[in-house]
Amino acid sequence: MDDVESRIIELVAKSKNLTASDVRLDSTFDELQIDSLDKINLSFAVEEMFSIEIPDESLNSLKTVRDVVRGVETLRAAALPDAASS
């Protein structure tokens, strides 16, 4: 498990008073009882943790922990300077 995955799993677990072993990448927000308010709070915490900005319209497409991991990885990659163009 990479750093992004483990940090997000820890964050989700902490937000719902679960142990990290209770949260899997394929856990759905429904399974974890994460509602829309929880999702907004999680998005703020993820933004702060990874110094990214999650577009508001993306929140509706997040259904699993893996979706959050993929989104963070995509946003972080987009924020990096493009080394190929130099």
| pLDDT at 3 exceeding the cut of 50 | yes
Q: Is residue 64 part of a domain?
A: yes
Percentage of the chain surpassing pLDDT 90? Answer: 80
* 58: in domain: yes
What is the extent of the structural domain holding 16? 3-77
| 10 domain residue, yes or no | yes
Decide if 63 is inside a domain: yes
Q: Which two tokens stand for residue 53?
A: 């900005």
For 25-63, the pLDDT digits (tens) are 999 999 999 999 999 999 999 999 999 999 988 888 999
Task: For the beta carbon of residue 69, count every other beta carbon within 10 angstroms.
Answer: 20
Residue 5: closest CA among 51, 65, 78, 57: 65
Encoded amino acid at 68, one letter: V
Domain count, the chain: 1
Q: Mean pLDDT, the chain, as a whole number?
A: 91
pLDDT at position 82: 57
Q: What is the CATH number of the domain that holds 12?
A: 1.10.1200.10
Query: What is the pTM (predicted TM-score) of this model?
Result: 0.87
- CA–CA gap between residue 15 and residue 9 (Å, rounded): 10
Give the pLDDT of residue 70: 96
